[in-house]
Structure 1
């Protein structure tokens, strides 16, 4: 495994709890109804230190929004791991590193470039493998074009096997072509679609509903069978096809059409949605070369993970267990998430929370192997720091999922509130006690009785413990 030496330390994002009320008063005084700001900082601290440095450097030099860079890291690592490793939650329950993740933002807010930059080491592998495929294809064409006499003279008695391009990424594809590629790429193959609205719009191009069912099954790692009118059927016993791309806020509704907001499809997508996102001026800061090199090394370490096959040509993943401490941390979070599911304001929200439970496990696996690839840990088991990082990420994606849900359902509960209560909601920190909330409400001109009634709105607040609340949006 290659290694590297990070050049500097960076502090994580955070809020000074001692100044919450003072900050809230300042926010209240500056509130503008047409420009309400929702704060949900991407938890860069969930990643290994070396990756934090790379994310911050690409933000400063290349203007990559931190949320988009973090999402691109997760997708790249997911794809690089592929079917090589899975994690066991309990006997019979295994999860892979598969993700569906999309970057959401207005036009011109630098969505595509972070994905392209962070996936570049994998693209480079595809470029090299294509060069080899071209050579094999030319030789194949030469041999099949030989006459019987020429074959006899050259000692070629049988037709050669048709070459296959073993690759990692596809962008323009049909479902039939994709399954054929996956049949020859047992490790996994990733979908990278610049405009994800086009991806979902094409689901019913040929057979109504079949493609959507394919993606639902793929996310759940269920075996996939594709029957063809012509040619041989395809059976994929252990699918691994992660998906990423970008989408504009206004097109989220397109993704939710054809019942996708009700059948659990949208629940399977992680949304990277930065708050207060605006187009930046060009940066005059050059990205130091060591960050390119360090990221190449990290991804190369993951791509070098070995995948073995059994006698039926099925991938045999290395199975990791959770350490006892990590399992305890995950179980504690799962109990809290279960309470949120049971107390959800509607079935759509409960569905979102339910899928986040699966993602907490998958992100734990991803982070553990990322810690290994950066030299910060081993890969003998999933450790507590990976689980804690996954929980931080899940809480970020919980809020973005609720924002996406509010957009596609055209039902943002904040829009129903009077202006003073909207101002209060914006001023409240992500987590607060009843006493702190009462103080902030007073400074925003909202009576205590009104504020306490507002706290009962399950679409706006969660209550993890008595006297403690968290904002949902």
Structure 2
């Protein structure tokens, strides 16, 4: 048999395996979406039809939004550990794949809350400056869920004033990766260390001569950003793989796309139902946060056993690959 014929057979075998993997992934995606609450399921399905947003992109963005909204208010105790819901996502695609639109739709209730809080903060700050001569009240602080552009020192300070969570929302995650790759600066490695420690909700303790000292007993950062295929390999370089940062990242690759442009719009009712759902979580979380407590979510026996079984499968798979 000629070499080129052998190469062709090998390539066809690889393509078949890749096709089978993708088909399995699509089936799993459909299973996950179908198990979501009806308001979330409807948004994912209709956004795919009317706005051409890949289901896996919007699903990841919604999980990020609810992760950010949950914060340290809720936890589960399972397998000997206390577990919180903070997650890190990277959405992978080409230009025009509606990566940013997925994040915008999912995070709109959080952004709206941040806008309202910012207006309140500006008013309180203005009133405070008028009264600071006669008042001993502390300067008001800005409450927010999401950050877009900040130094690592500013991000930690914002998290101190928002102790239950801080979400990092980046349109292009590659720029953060570039900072991490810069061995001459401290900013990138400090970001990586913050996200590594924050993933397991470790404490933050800051002491500087030029700034106020502060401490968080538990941290809770969340992260989402998009990247293009050609930049993806850079995420694995310059210590990100070795440090375990990549292991903590959930990558959302394009599985299903819709090439048909619709003349119809996404239903306002479906959008509103989603907003009400996430807003309900936010309000409940604020109530818990105001009382400075946490809510322990009790898993029923079936869920607890399924989580234990799944974790064991992951551990076994890890051992097979090492």
The alignment's TM-score, normalised by the length of structure 1, stands at 0.59
Matches within 5 A, 1:190-269: 190-203=167-180, 204=182, 205-206=185-186, 209-269=189-249
279, 288, 295: which one pairs with 1:300? 279
Match of residue 275 from structure 1:
255
- Is the 2:177–2:188 Cα contact (8 Å) retained in structure 1? no
Partner of 1:164: 141
Residues 324, 276 of structure 1: CA spacing in aligned structure 2 closer, same or farther, 3 A cutoff? closer
Query: How far apart in 2 are the matches of 1:300 and 1:218?
Result: 25
> After superposition, where does 1:264-413 map in structure 2 within 5 Å?
264-275=244-255, 277=257, 280-305=259-284, 306-308=287-289, 315-344=292-321, 346=322
Quick check: 2:174–2:227 contact (8 Å CA) kept in 1? Answer: yes
For residues 167-186 of structure 1, the aligned pairs below 5 Å read 167-186=144-163
Deviations 1:390-429 (A, max 9, x none): xxxxxxxxxxxxxxxxxxxxxxxxxxxxxxxxxxxxxxxx
Question: Alpha carbons of 1:207 and 1:286: their partners in 2 closer, same or farther (altered >3 Å)?
Answer: closer
1:59 to 37, 48, 51: 48
Deviation, structure 1 residue 303? 0.4
Partner secondary structure for residue 86 of structure 1? strand
Q: Which is bigger in relative contact order (C-alpha 8 A, separation at least 6)?
A: 2
Q: Quick check: 1:115 aligned with 2:103? A: yes
Higher helix share: 2
Paired position in structure 2 for 1:101: 89
Please list every run of 5 or more consecutive structure 2 residues that lacks an aligned counterpart in the other structure: 1-8
Mapped contact 2:52–2:257 kept (Cα < 8 A): no
When the two chains are superposed, the root-mean-square deviation of aligned CA atoms in Å is 2.4
- SS of corresponding position for 1:286: coil
Q: Secondary structure at the match of 1:102?
A: strand
Structure 2 counterpart of 1:71, from 54, 60, 63: 60
Relative to structure 1, the CA distance from residue 120 to residue 276 in structure 2 (aligned partners, 3 Å threshold; closer, same or farther) is: closer
Q: Which runs of 5 or more residues in structure 1 are unaligned? A: 1-27, 145-150, 347-473
Matched, 1:130 2:118: yes
Q: Structure 1 residue 80: deviation in Å?
A: 1.0
- Against the structure 1 CA distance between its residues 207 and 62, is the aligned structure 2 distance closer, same or farther, given a 3 Å change threshold? closer
Runs of 4+ aligned structure 1 residues displaced above 4 Å come to 31-37
Which deviates more, 254-263 or 243-252? 254-263
Bigger Rg over Cα: 1
